[in-house]
Chain A
């Protein structure tokens, strides 16, 4: 009996003895590239942050800024540097219902924002589908979500205060320091530490959820006519099947249409618990483990969403989607995101091309969701160079060097296909794309890195995104 227990312990030690599980190294959600840092400091007060920056400069240490660390390309840490964890710097500073604005510290999560604005019947304009992320982190990646009318996050940011490398705190908006506004939004923490943010809000409303099954070939037309063309539809998300029986051919769409006949008071209680995490997690594990599981998961998802047909939901509740069931912590492998922006009329062609690449490279695709982003050139590193569909792809990948090399090759081929269709890709994820691919997708890169050198000549703010994509 005791021997069995000892054997189990030894087995467990060996199984978890991988770099991605080393508690003394720092990494992000991807668990790729774990390194030792000087220290992780919790941001608490403004003066403390200013002092920290001063200390880092004197000691020639780098500074990286971290929120929930859900970016996956080493954007939030750097070897031997200081990591400033902003999650405790999270107070809601003020809500102004007349101006429809909220001011929060950068570490506040969208959940806190929703809680603060819900009583005023106000709602966030643009954020990710889940509300677990920090506002500062979301701004640094210029996030986008299910809302099809409000553009990417930059559009709803009124202003923020930025602690720059020279130790100054600057007010940044479209009027004051407009250049920094365009650089730091979607700037991956390279231009300074965002301290607090003023966001423009919109009205909370009641939506009816409508679901529709469609084919990949019909999706662009369907979207333009039935979704974008219908002014009542406010939010939209679609899914593409990764089940072998319907691999990248079947889709279903969920539309959220405003229904003014439904009184908001009946639906505005915020949902605070994630529903059905245990069965969803079991189903998602099946989806991860076998072809049979993928088919079963797709059928079950469809059934689940059909059941939600015509369900009424407040905007604030629609913007707090479940995420816990997808968490995965096993050693040696992880579920990583990639996101591709494809011009609306190129969608079906791209998905068709993607099918071959995924199969040829044996990429293990777990899930694809589709959102819509409007053309937006405001951020220097803007991804939506025209109206695009964002394909958020979740891949199950090995974390070993050899496994990663294989995935990298496949992803680079996929990005070639993206580029061929006139698309771009999203930067918060693992650094699989080449420097050349990055430069072609983001023509603003030269400006971005030149300004980085101007505002931060000593490269105080540092991360792996800079290291990998600065190039020569």
Chain B
């Protein structure tokens, strides 16, 4: 496996998620009149993520790569669906899907990082991983603001979907040595 492509793909994932995340919160807040309703949407995300992780745990060891790919594709579909959602129930459903995707992404990236590094030599790889994913997130937030100002929040969802698509492609590339 090529560690560079793992970093590239996951930088792309943080670019896609960082771009949408703060604005997505505004989008969700506008859906309900109460903060409680807003809280519920997030609870669904975390609960589904936690529950799915338990199902995934015994299965992930030999399919980390595939799981990472599915998580990017799943997020891409969720981002494409958001602008078309017209009911709160659908938002909850998408939150549920995104919770599962988040569990897949977080667990498999850690697994792959651990699998392909050796004890005592992990520091530089993890450092490089953290640097690129964090920097991507910084750019993403600024870019997201521009995109909404010039276009709409829907355009931001589509742009994020595109980035998740690229990350899926990068995960695909990663398989080659």
Contacts and interface: CB of A to CB of B under 8 A. Distances in A.
Interface of A: 1-2, 5, 8-9, 12, 88, 272-273, 277-278, 281-282, 285, 324, 329-330
Given A9-B142, A273-B86, A2 B33 contact: no
B125 interface: no
A115 B159 CA distance: 33
B149 A12 contact: no
A216 B152 CA distance: 35
A322 B140 CA distance: 29
A1 B151 CA distance: 27
Given A88-B33, A272-B86, A273-B86, A8 B142 contact: yes
B152 A5 contact: no
A281 B86 contact: no
B129 to A, nearest CB: 14
Nearest to B138: A5
A330 B150 CA distance: 9
Contacts of A12: 142, 145
A278 B151 CA distance: 6
Contacts of B86: 272-273
Nearest to B148: A329
A10 to B, nearest CB: 12
Interface residues of B, number: 13
Contacts of B135: 1-2, 5
B69 to A, nearest CB: 27
B77 interface: no
Contacts of B109: none
Contacts of A8: 139, 142
Central interface residue in A278, A285, A324, by most chain B CB within 10 Å = A278
Interface in B108-158: 135, 138-139, 142, 145, 149-152, 154-155
Task: Report the 7 A-B pairs with minimum CB-CB distance, sorted nearest first.
Answer: A5-B138, A278-B155, A277-B152, A1-B135, A329-B149, A278-B151, A281-B151
27 contacts: A1-B135, A2-B135, A5-B135, A5-B138, A5-B139, A8-B139, A8-B142, A9-B142, A12-B142, A12-B145, A88-B33, A272-B86, A273-B86, A277-B152, A277-B154, A278-B151, A278-B152, A278-B154, A278-B155, A281-B150, A281-B151, A281-B152, A282-B151, A285-B150, A324-B152, A329-B149, A330-B149
